[in-house]
Structure 1
Amino acid sequence: MKAAYVCSDRGVPVFGTKGCSLHVQEITKAFEALGIHIRLVAAALGGKCPQELKTVETHHVKHTKTADRQQREQYDIQDNQKVIKELDQLGQLDFVYERYSLWSHAGMTFAKAHQIPSILEVNAPLVEEQKKYRELFDEQSAIKVTQQCFSAASLILTVSNEVADYVNTFPEARGKIQVLPNGVNIERFSQIHHELEPDHVNFTIGFVGTLKPWHGVERLLESFATLNHTYPTTRLLIVGDGPMRDELQSRIHQLKLEDVVEMTGPVAPSDIAQYFDQMDVGVAPYPDDIHFYFSPLKIYEYMAAGLPVVASNVGKISDLVNDHHHGLVYSAHDIGQLTEALSYLVEHPDIARSYGQSGRQCAIQHHSWQSRVKHVLDWSGITIR
């Protein structure tokens, strides 16, 4: 069986280290593991192909370059024809899977024209995001492309109920939507063994993700400063990179925490497990002043790594962490509660360990990428030959 995965977003390098990049890689690997040979058609590569994807046929369809952002929007719309032409050259396909991007409809348009299943993955309300956080010059064309995608898709996957509600405002999408949260590569974390030590020795609080305001890392840093004052042997490990890196480093210096806070910078997915192995708890400190519609990859990874989770109570996180089973949930507006939750786990390492073990079993049983992809095939009516 042969299929195409289309990712036409300039900002999603399919071989990069960002969460969106990891998502593309893991979905591709999950399809391949089930015997479906993926042709990956991408606008941005972002580096060397990971070793585990070396057998995947990759087609780099470059977008037209320009520094003019307004002109770039029009070029991106025109470049759909490049992608369709590339798909035409792949031979017979059994289905097309496309990651929804602001200006791309190529995968869905191609699949509809060839009367094969067309699966659209929607991770965010991109038109609204673009207006709020970046620049959007041609909103009407963005909406038109979105409508074309939703109309051509035979199945639309959304990562959360909140995204599903947004997608459902488009008449073209109604009756096609299924909620498919993110998953985790269980095998990547299978060799991690946590040995929590007594007496609060070397207890490491961990964060993994892009350093952007809506991830709340600056709040975690403030909480850790208080925690470390009480438990001087605790440390904070921040794994990832992003636009807030310089600001966070400056704050670490102001708080005189250079000796107990480590920032790794970007880390390849294949190398990530070694950092989880250094952690005793994983934190998802999302603030309360954002429209939360995510399905946090980091929480699934913390669970798969056998880490207790401490997370703010935004979105459906409370349901996922299952308070007092896989970790602790605190009020997103209250940094003091975050500090209390971390202090509790420092003081009770046996309970922390039991949370981690419970979370790993849950991840194994319910949240693997392969189980996610099997749902996609079932919903699409696709039978593997």
Structure 2
Amino acid sequence: MKIAHIYQESNIRFYSPQAAQVHIYHTMRGLQQAGHEVRLLGLQARRVLFSEDLAVFTTSDLPASYYARQGISGSFLFKGFESGLRRVQSELHLPYLALFDSFRMAESAVIHLKGFDLIHERFNLLSMGGTWASRSLGVPFVLEVNADLLRQRALKGHPEKGFRRWLATWATRISFNAADKIICVSKSLRDHLESSWNIRASKLSVLPIAADVIPGRQMGSDQVIRRRLGLGQEPVVMWVGGFFPWHDLDLLLESFGQVLARRPDARLVLVGDGQARASVEKKIAEEGWQHAVILTGFIAHAQVPEMLSIADVAVVPSAPFSADRGGTGTPLKLFEYMAAGVAIVATDNDQAGEVIENNQTGLLVKAGAVDEFARAILTLLDQPELRVRLGRNGMQKAAEKYSWGHYINQLEEIYSTVKQNAPTKPPVAVIS
């Protein structure tokens, strides 16, 4: 099958170790390994990145051949008009509407995707490129949705307002209606889209994110990582992810304070970065925990398994932000912890409660329960046999149900069903 994968995010850095990029990388790699032809299109300023290999995930230094041909959007007149309008927009503080970017993406897709069987787009706010391209080419359109981004913007403290909110709502509805299939990363998100956006249930499929099991728990690098972080043999509690509101880092820090009171030798390693980092650093300084809490910042995604090799306990604290409030419901870290064979403590929210079997593949704690979360961590630190059992069970479940190979198999089934059932679409000259 010839598949196009589109992500209309301005200046996307595919080599960055963030969840969206990791997801796209494994999707593209897995489909290619399964024998499909896959083309990736993404925005780079006023150009469209175009790739048939995985080099875009390793470097930003790409030759001109990695940029798509453009028609009208690449012309001197178009660029001049766009520059003038953007200048006025900036001076008058008018909202960014992404219309030029959507046209640019759709036009490049139409040029480069003739003869393709299907377009798969990762949904982004005000992103119309995939929708317009699929209509222009008359091919099936699969939309992957990881959150209600309008509500997530509000959750992050940047709610859409006025005309931009109206346009974002309109564009979202157009994309949802145009899609032949919408892939949701969690059941809670599926239910939210059905109830809040009035999408029929038959259009929605649930496909959680995945992670690959790395054979051998220690992978030979644990002592190297410990030395790099200034650690000896102290027990390590680890968290991996973005510092965002739906990851309840306040709960984690409060809980770790209790853990530290009982186990002064315990260490907390926070892997990642994001908007809440400043408040995390402030809390650490106020409590005098600089000796016990290590912040690594962003690391390459390929290094995450190595980092997890030193973890005795991995944690998934999640605030009760359901999909209808902008939460994703599907933390990538959960599957990576399981694949690494690390014992898990998680709040019983959304997908964590669906994936983890309490006392079998991890320990589940009620959302917001600081004392209970601390007790669960201490239980695992104090009971090595329980840690090993939960980690082993989690790894087995990851291999059986949540590997990237399993993910790709399910994705292929979705694609096949869409191709078989999608109505014939004569090309419409939205972009020509």
Q: TM bucket by the smaller chain?
A: 0.7 to 0.9
Match of 1:301 among 336, 349, 353: 336
Distance (whole Å) between structure 2 residues aligned to residue 194 and residue 273 of structure 1: 8
Amino acid at match of 2:276: M
Matched residue SS, 1:355: helix
| 1:129-187 deviations in Å (ceiling 9; x for gaps) | 2345314232222122122212221111011122112322434655311011111133x
Change (3 A) 1:16 1:28: same
Distance 2:354 2:165 in 1: 35
Match of 1:224 among 256, 266, 269: 256
Q: Structure 2: which amino acid aligns with 1:98?
A: E
Q: 1:151 to 1:41 in 2, by over 3 A?
A: same
Aligned partners of 1:39 and 1:58 also within 8 Å: no
Partner residue of 1:8? 8
Contact 1:2 1:93 in 2 (8 A): yes
> Relative to structure 1, is the Cα distance of residues 220 and 317 closer, same or farther in structure 2, using a 3 angstrom cutoff?
same
Q: Does residue 122 in structure 1 map to residue 145 in structure 2?
A: yes
CA-CA distance at 1:8 after TM superposition: 0.6
Do the aligned partners of residues 31 and 71 (structure 1) sit closer, same or farther apart at CA in structure 2, a change above 3 Å counting?
Answer: farther
Offset of residue 110 of structure 1: 1.6
1:85 aligns with 2:92: no
Distance apart, 1:257 and its partner CA: 1.7
Q: Name which of 175, 186, 202 aligns with 2:202.
A: 175
State how far apart, in whole Å, the 2-side matches of 1:19 and 1:146 are.
21
Shift of 1:11: 7.9
Output aligned runs, 1:10-159, within 5 Å.
10=10, 13-43=13-43, 49-51=56-58, 59=67, 68=90, 71-74=94-97, 76-90=98-112, 91-132=114-155, 133-136=157-160, 137=162, 138-159=164-185
In 2, the alpha carbon distance for the partners of 1:11 and 1:315 equals 31
Are residues 1:248 and 2:270 paired? no
Distance, in Å, in 1 between the alignment partners of 2:309 and 2:108 is: 42
Question: Is this contact kept in 1: 2:238–2:313, CA < 8 A?
Answer: yes
Aligned positions, number: 376
- In 1, are the aligned partners of 2:15 and 2:58 still within 8 Å (CA)? no
User: Which gives a bigger RCO, structure 1 or 2 (Cα 8 Å, sep 6+)?
Assistant: 2
2:150–2:159 Cα contact (<8 Å) kept: no
Among the aligned pairs, what percent are the same residue?
22
On the 8 A contact 1:15/1:25 being kept in 2, the answer is no
The amino acid of 1:152's aligned partner reads A
**Pair 12,355 (structure 1): closer, same or farther in 2 beyond 3 Å:** farther
User: What TM-score do you get using the length of structure 1 for normalisation?
Assistant: 0.88
Counterpart position of 1:270:
302
Letter in 2 for 1:180: L
**SS state at 2:345 partner:** strand
SS of the residue aligned with 1:310? strand
1:272 alignment partner, SS class:
helix
Where structure 1 has 5 or more consecutive residues not aligned to the other structure, the ranges are: none
Match of 1:214, SS? coil
State the SS of the aligned residue for 1:278: coil
**Inter-partner Cα distance in structure 2 for 1:163 and 1:360:** 25
Gaps of 5+ in 2: 50-54, 74-81, 223-232, 420-432
The alignment partner of 2:96 has SS state of helix
Q: What is the identity, as a one-letter code, of the residue corresponding to 1:81?
A: F
- 1:27 and 1:264 mapped to 2: Cα distance? 27
The structure-2 alpha-carbon separation of the partners of 1:175 and 1:59, relative to structure 1 and needing over 3 Å to count, comes to farther
Whether the aligned pair in 1 keeps the contact of 2:212 and 2:399 (CA below 8 Å) is: no
Q: Between Structure 1 and Structure 2, whose CA radius of gyration is higher?
A: 2
Which 10-residue stretch deviates more, 288-297 or 259-268? Answer: 288-297
Distance 1:230 1:265 in 2: 27
> What's the secondary structure of 2:120's corresponding residue?
strand
Question: Partner letter of residue 322 of structure 1?
Answer: E
Point out the more displaced range, 114-123 or 360-369.
114-123
